Amino acid sequence: MTTAVSKIPPGLSAVDEGLHAPPPEAADRLFADTVWLSAIDPSAGIWGISQMHVATNRGYGRFQSLFWIDGVGQMYTGKQVGGLSYGQTAWSDGAMTYEVLEPFEAVRLTLDHPRFAFDLTYTARHVAFDYDDCVGGSPLEGLRPAAGVHGGHYEQAMRAVGTFEIRGGPCAGETRRIDTLAHRDHTWSDRFSGPAPWEYPAGKVGALHYWLVLQFPSRNINVTGFYDLSALGIHRPVDRVGGFESTADGTRPVVGCVADPGGPPPLGPEGFERFRITFADGEVRHVRATHTEAIAKLRMLGEDDTESRLNDYERLCRLVIEETGEKGHGVLEHSTLPPEPRWLV
């Protein structure tokens, strides 16, 4: 007889799969749960990500799915108004629906859109990782002042299985089977609740953060860190790096990550493509993008549906761990300011 191993880290509970109420200090601010999931299956010709930003205390949620089908980009965005309450574990804008089937074990994501549709079930490969367990604490305090109240954040290696229906283009009518390595995260905070500047200082362009989602058959690696923010007039150190590697045996923390070779932080969509990652036990691994399929730009909004708050680029790519030769796929994300375009009108 075997005993099931819980996928819930000690600092979290089943309620953290649902929508969170803001703490008292953020009760009058935009406070939202953000959920992100990958859906990259190179063998099916499908490369994509989905994100939801659900602000229960404002009564709305924003939804987006950005996909490349046989190399052609197709996008969906939608908005839910009303029908939200704290604690619920399913939400929908009528076209895109997210549902927790079993906390930290399985979630379902579906989309019914004129250009493409999917029905994907994400099941846990490994235990989730609570970012409060990063060595030295969560690096996401670096989001201040953009997020003055950071509630929590966890990430998890998943497997995505289901169907993807193509409804336009040369392969319209095809339904393809998806069975692939995947990743998800869930954050709750008052991100983008503060006011943006009236105008951004001329000539001040800078990189903010990087976020790596590195998926391999036997392991999953995730890293978050920040660049030198002095170019943006932020003169405080934000040098903490956090993240983890998960396998079937558990997790180990990441304590360091740098682009290798280094150089000026990226100010355009491409970003760095090779990283040197250091784990808490001293082991070092180099992970490199060997092929880039697409670069997505996430819609990042605060209170105003017309104002972009930053440039957030995601490179969807094939990957290799140079020391071991392991091959996989994932996402290399980085962000910059000022947003371009700033106004989405």
- Quick: pLDDT tens for 32-79: 999 999 999 999 999 999 999 999 999 999 999 999 999 999 999 999
Q: What is the mean pLDDT of the chain?
A: 93
Domain presence at residue 15: no
Q: Is the pTM of this model over 0.85?
A: yes
Total domains in the chain come to: 1
Amino acid, res. 238 = V
Q: How confident is the model at residue 139 (pLDDT cuts 50, 70, 90)?
A: confident
Mean pLDDT of all residues in 5-20: 91
Q: Give CA–CA dist 212/242, Å, rounded.
A: 11
Range of the domain at 97: 32-194+204-337
* CATH number for position 52: 2.40.370.10
Domain presence at residue 10: no
Domain presence at residue 321: yes
List Cβ neighbours of 157 (8 Å cut-off, separation of 6 or more).
Answer: 124, 125, 126, 181, 182, 183, 215, 220, 246
Domain presence at residue 1: no
Domain presence at residue 344: no
CA 30, 336, 231, 154 dihedral sign is: positive
In DSSP terms, 53 is beta-bridged to 34, 62
Q: How confident is the model at residue 146 (pLDDT cuts 50, 70, 90)?
A: low
pLDDT tens digits for 271-315? 999 999 999 999 999 999 999 999 999 999 999 999 999 999 999
